[in-house]
Amino acid sequence: MKNLVQYGVVLVVFFTIDMVWLGVVAKGIYSKYLGYLMSPKVNWGAALLFYLLFILGLLVFVIQPALELKSVSDLLLKAALFGLVTYATYDLTNLATIKDWPVVITLIDLTWGMTLSVVVSGLSYFIINLL
């Protein structure tokens, strides 16, 4: 039950932050640089699967180990690395294989992946500790 509560906390924190990013902050950026590649309809099944797996990864590889160690510094370092590696997998693969993939999108996404992971992990860590 504890793991489900922790997962729920991370899920709510993640969705809140990422929806603001995608729906408000970066919406115009992605349209500007990737509009020629964007589908008119989001594949919500694929998006949901990514989110569920990413959140699981944050919880298992970043948040739970930091909770056990009681180490915020460990949490922040691993969160930044997790975000960098996961977002780099997508963006660097696209940069390597898709003609005219914008380098600026790769740089924005790598920065966002690290930022998102650190903020979500940090907030989740503190909320979970309060529970």
Condensed to tens digits (0 to 9), the pLDDT of residues 5-40 reads 999 999 999 999 988 988 888 878 988 999 989 888
8 Å CB contact between 121 and 63? yes
Q: Tell me what pLDDT residue 123 has.
A: 98
Condensed to tens digits (0 to 9), the pLDDT of residues 48-107 reads 999 999 999 999 999 999 999 999 999 999 999 999 999 999 999 999 999 999 999 999
Domain count, the chain: 1
Domain of residue 61: give its range.
2-130
Whole-structure pTM value: 0.91
C-alpha torsion sign, points 22, 23, 24, 28:
positive
- CA nearest 22: which of 112, 119, 106? 112
